[in-house]
Amino acid sequence: MRFKSLFAALCLAAAAVISVSCGSPEPKTGYESLTADNHPRIFFTAKDFKDIKKAVARNENPILTSLHEQLMKTADELGLSETELKYGRDASGRRLTTDGTGRLVSAAYAYKMTGDKKYLDHVEWDLKCICNYPDWVPDHFLGAATMSIGVGLAYDWLYDDLSQETKDLVVKTLRSHSIDPSMAPDPSTQKEWWWHSTSNNWNQVCECGLATAAFAIYETCPEIAKAVIEKAGSSNVNAMIGSYSPDGVYPEGPGYWSYGTNHEVLMLSEFEQLLGHDFGLSDTPGFLNTGTYQMYSTGPTGKAFNYSDGGEGVGARIAQWYFAAKNNDPSLLWLEKPYVEEHKLVGNTHIFYLIAMVLKSGIKDIPEPPAGCYTGQGHNPLMMTRTGWGKEDLYLGIKGGSASNNHAHMDAGEFVFDAYGYRWAKDYGNPGYAILEAFLKDNRDGLWDMSQDSPRWRFFTYHNLRHNTLTVNDKSHLVKATAPLKVSGEGAGAEAETDLTEIFGGDVKSAKRTASIVDGKYLSVTDCITAPDRKGAKVRWTMVTPATVKEVADGFELTQGDVVMKLHTDGAAVSYKNWPVGREARDLCPEAFDRLCDGTALIGYEITVPAGKTVELTTTLKRVK
């Protein structure tokens, strides 16, 4: 008996040693783990919440501590707001205006960290408000998807603390307002078209919301929840290929990249954590490169290369933390560093995800990346190059592509340029869809009509006449045509050539644009145009600038602050133009003009290329003071 007791004791000791040396066992994954006694489970387990508290108390990781402090401040400023979340739609009547996600997840997190009942009570109040809405506007499912994320996470994280009444209400509402409508498609209205979308943020956002809802309440409806998750895992591949292949360029632009990709990585992280795999979606060609694309899409001025419907403004790029962890490359977070160090994330809905990724990856330092060039093919091929990561460095973004892409403008050949602390060549951007739909009045659906004669192109900032590109014979670009782009050279001096020939149809025999930063000092754009054999081609070269413009004999002087740049064209005699921006724009849509165009100038030149002849015009933008 003594021998048996000693043997048993040795076995227990050995087991303890093995347990210590191997660490805590991996959490169970797979559908069988999604049980009522296994909450919280989405992004954080009970152990994760405890580990965060310990790490913050010891300040083991300054990045983690900063993120935690910012999320706690968000909980106090947003999560405890006494303003009731009321049901509402935007001016067009199409979109749900209420978004309680930030309030719900910040207050739920704060309760897990502190145990202070004020946070729990507020989450209960918000959940009851949101879940008693008549609907979450399923016809425009983006709002329903966002609601599903906030409600699903709050339910999961606080499962052991919420009242049974609230939990029952949440389950009922996630079914009636989110899951059931999405899984009962109505072909007559095409409400669920986004399941099959191939290059559109709707697929990513809607499926992320549904997956979160399904994982949260899985045990209450395992068959339907599994069907939702499996459908998301299988149908998302088309959107992944269309959005990132082959090189990571997001066709809808960097602004929509943030919206679509943030939700994409949330969903992939849920798949990995809870199922043990992500359906192979992260292996999509180009996907793991898209973090580099996003980082290069912001110039030294902090403004985006905002082609298509995007704006110049740049916020925190939540998805970058996924790519930094996945690629083991913290330098991808270089532009996120100020958000951490200067506490600029307060109020952000997704701070919790950054905490989850830091906890997973152990990132403690963010080094500066090398400067150079990013280029990518796909629906909107482009090149973005920079001389460095300082505010005074030079930056060029130029694109090809097609106006037929989702959210596209007639902007093939478009470029933006930053230098010496200022943006000199800019894109007007998008004033907001409610404004545009009001502008189109009774034909608001025309905003999404991508045909050649669509009213969409009547809006002044969508047309090629007001982009940094070429116009021939005063005509619109051909919507279905495509401008390919190829890059030669390496680093900051790389050169991009965009073939615009097809964009102009039969109005040119050939039209090619080449752009680069020369010697790290100035911008050079060369346009080589050949007119048809039997008719001339009137060419208009335009550039939008926020600078103060002075017309001089051989071009323009542009001034911002104490920096003066000279715009000049060589190769042939051109007629320089400073077109009036305001008159037509104000008449068409005053509100949009005030938001986008006031304080800008539209400059360039015109030249008529004789029939059968070729002209090569090189325009430079150099600092003179």
Q: What is the rounded average pLDDT of the residues 324-339?
A: 96
Choose one of 327, 346, 361: the last residue of a domain: 361
Contact call for residues 366 and 328 (beta carbons, < 8 A): no
Q: What is the mean pLDDT of residues 134-149?
A: 92
Domain identity same for 346 and 442:
no
Closest among 337, 375, 605, 354 to 498, alpha carbons compared: 375
Q: In sequence order, what are the beta bridge partners of 548?
A: 559
398 lies in some domain: no
Structure confidence at residue 599 (pLDDT): 86
pLDDT tens per residue across span 94-139:
888 888 899 999 999 999 999 999 999 999 999 999 999 999 998 8
Residue 310: CATH number of its domain? 1.50.10.100
Tens-digit pLDDT profile for residues 152-173: 999 999 999 999 999 999 999 9
pLDDT number for residue 191? 62
pLDDT tens for 66-89 read: 999 999 999 999 999 999 999 988
Q: Which domain holds residue 85?
A: 35-361
Q: Quick one: pLDDT at residue 434?
A: 77
Return the closest-CA partner of residue 415 out of 437, 404, 428, 399.
399
Of 346, 361, 376, which residue constitutes the final position of a domain?
361
Residue 22 lies in a domain: no
Number of domains the chain contains: 2
Check whether residue 345 and residue 442 sit in a common domain: no
- Nearest 5°: the CA angle 38, 353, 214 is 45
Computed over every residue of the chain, the mean pLDDT equals: 90
Residue 197 lies in a domain: yes
The pLDDT of residue 261: 95
Two tokens, residue 413? 């050949």
378 located within any domain? no
| Amino acid 176: pLDDT | 95
Q: Which of 122, 135, 170 is nearest to 149 (CA)?
A: 170
- pTM for this predicted structure: 0.88
Within a domain: 395: no
pLDDT digits (tens, 9 = 90+) for 439-457: 776 666 778 889 999 988 8
CA distances from 156 to 6, 36, 108, 141, 143 (A): 45, 10, 10, 22, 20
